[in-house]
Amino acid sequence: MNKKKIYLDYAATTPVDSEILEAMLPYFSKGYGNPMSIHGFGQEALEAVDEARDRAADFFGCAPSEIFFTSGATESNNLAIKGILKSFRILQLQTKKDIKPHIITTKFEHHSVLDVCKAVERGGFAEITFINPDKEGLILTRDIEKTIKPNTILVSIMYVNNEIGTLQPIAEIGKKLKKINEERQKNKQPRILFHTDATQAVNYFNCTVDDLGVDMLSMSAHKIYGPKGVGILYIRKGTPIKNIQQGGDQELKMRAGTHNVPAIVGLGKAISMIKNQKTKEESNKIKKLRDYLIARVLKEIPGSYLNGSKNMRSPNNANFRFDDIEGEGLVLSLDLDGIAVSTGSACSSGALEPSHVLLSLGLKHEQAHGSLRITLGKHISREDVELLILKLKEAVERLRKISGNVLAEFK
């Protein structure tokens, strides 16, 4: 008999909702026109893209012209950071100034922010400050304030961390930066722009851009039951940013390349479904199940700990560490039982390096290796969680016995 499979890796990606898939399908083989074409086929596709843009603008509380479709949050993050730096550089050349810009970010960003920042720093294009979170995985607004310099042009802080699910005070940071910018403008200093990677937040938290006070926001559709390979960079009107890829006039010349029409339609549908009452009920259900899971694991598995904050975290995220256990061993063991979880982010789980997120909390290498990320979604039932707890307890016990025997042989 086929074993039931349970997917508990919703932070890595989500299944496409049937309603969303249905909305996308006509744009593969019927409404297949190129939105840049002036004929009827093209105009039909353009209408679909514009409808998705309107839906996204409605969700983020912005103008449709401030929504830029990309291939996902990785591209959005690249565009945000490199596009701002390019614009700053052009201004410097025009005004014959030579100031190295300064960017503030955190040590536990997704690699699509972290590696871009490291690369521009290595290339000598910017000076970067990587802020440490506290030991619960929270960034303090005052730590950002302390690191601001006269040449700071950009602050990029993720809304929800993809590994430990911690929720950052984006609206509070936005408010603080607004005040600081008012002062800077009086002194003719450059405005500090604010970018957030909201990829893991869109499903669960307020993303109205004016409430957050952000100038740019990144997201990906496949984390909200939409398709892979499509996302958004919200760019506030008037933000000094330049395109980073050439070759087409799409997206107001900000992002060259033919629109992925079916995926954009799917993104629009997915984003419009988040505001539904049904979605709110689903996230309450997810949170209850997640709290139940955390309580049972911490109570019933000795030497288990929760990584990240107890309260300031995404409702779907539980990230544990276990004494004397490698996270990879647990992932493989649970996979044999048909349960899919992860050690950290999907993008780095091929590597056996300990997670940069967990290290940034001050955990030791061996603690960071013993971690397990469980992320729930709307298709998870109480029964699934019960089975996970049972299999997790068995796996921890078995792996500890094996590592105990191995150690004994070396004594």
Catalytic residues, by residue number, are 347
Residue 151 buriedness (CB in 10 A; 0-12 / 13-18 / 19+): middle
Residue 222 is given by DSSP the state G
Q: Which is nearer to ligand PMP, 105 or 199 (CB)?
A: 199
Our finding on whether 199 is near ligand PMP (CB under 6 A) is: yes
At position 263, the amino acid (one-letter code) is A
Helix (H) or strand (E) holding 401: helix 382-409
* Residue 351: Cβ within 10 Å count: 10
We find the least distance from the C-beta atom of residue 94 to ligand PMP, in angstroms, to be: 33
Structural Rg of the chain based on CA atoms: 22
Q: What angle do CA 300, 371, 130 make, to 5 degrees?
A: 135
Residue 106 within binding range of ligand PMP, rule CB under 6 A = no
Among 105, 152, 162, 260, binds ligand PMP (CB under 6 A): 162
Consecutive H or E run containing 156: strand 152-156
- The CB-nearest residue to ligand PMP is 72
Is position 158 an interface residue for ligand PMP (rule: CB under 6 A)? Answer: yes
Q: Which is nearer to ligand PMP, 102 or 222 (CB)?
A: 222
Give the DSSP letter of residue 272: H
Here the tokens at position 328 are: 């990879």
Parallel/antiparallel/unpaired status of strands 216-220 and 193-197: parallel
Q: How far is the CB of 219 from ligand PMP (least distance, A)?
A: 8
Q: Are 45 and 27 in contact (CB under 8 A)?
A: yes
Name the residue nearer to ligand PMP (CB basis): 72 or 174.
Answer: 72
User: With respect to ligand PMP, which residue has the nearer C-beta, 153 or 158?
Assistant: 158
168 binds ligand PMP (CB under 6 A): no
Rounded distance, CA 188 to CA 210, Å?
24
> Does 74 interact with ligand PMP (rule: CB under 6 A)?
yes
Do 176 and 141 meet the contact criterion of CB atoms below 8 Å apart? yes
The footprint of ligand PMP on this chain (CB under 6 A) covers a number of residues equal to 16
Distance CA 262, CA 259 (A): 9
Site string for ligand PMP, 133-152 (x = CB under 6 A): --------------------
Residue 310: closest CA among 136, 171, 160, 163: 136
**What's the half-sphere exposure (Cβ side, CA atoms, 13 Å) at 70?**
25
Q: Which is nearer to ligand PMP, 69 or 88 (CB)?
A: 69
Residue from 53, 55, 110, 191 touching ligand PMP (CB under 6 A): that is: 110
309 binds ligand PMP (CB under 6 A): no
Pick the closer one to ligand PMP by CB: 283 or 304: 283
Does position 316 bind ligand PMP by CB under 6 A?
Answer: no
Q: Give the number of other Cβ atoms within 10 Å of residue 246's Cβ.
A: 7
Q: How far is the CB of 40 from ligand PMP (least distance, A)?
A: 33
Stretch of residues binding ligand PMP (CB under 6 A), selected from 60-68, 134-142, 193-201, 304-312: 193-201
Q: How far is the CB of 344 from ligand PMP (least distance, A)?
A: 10
Smallest gap, in angstroms, from Cβ of residue 186 to ligand PMP? 35
CA 39 to CA 35: how far, in whole Å? 9
User: What's the min distance (Å) between Cβ of 345 and ligand PMP?
Assistant: 5
Interatomic CA distance for residues 188 and 76, integer angstroms: 29
Which window, 59-67, 71-79, 174-182, 303-311, contacts ligand PMP (CB under 6 A)?
71-79
CB of 58 vs ligand PMP, minimal distance in Å: 22
Backbone φ, ψ for residue 350 (5° rounding) = -75, -25
Decide: 250 and 45 in contact? Cβ < 8 Å: no
125 Cβ contact list (under 8 Å, min separation 6): 85, 89, 100, 101
Nearer Cβ to ligand PMP, position 200 or 283? 200
Question: Closest separation between CB of residue 79 and ligand PMP, Å?
Answer: 11
**Window 18-47: residues binding ligand PMP (CB under 6 A):** none
Candidates 91, 295, 347, 402: give the one binding ligand PMP (CB under 6 A).
347
Residue 342 binding ligand PMP, by CB under 6 A:
no
Interaction mask 207-226, ligand PMP, x per CB under 6 A: -------------x-x----
- E-state strands within 198-314: 216-220, 231-235, 304-306
Interacting residues with ligand PMP (CB under 6 A): 72-74, 110, 112, 158, 162, 197, 199-200, 220, 222, 231, 345-347
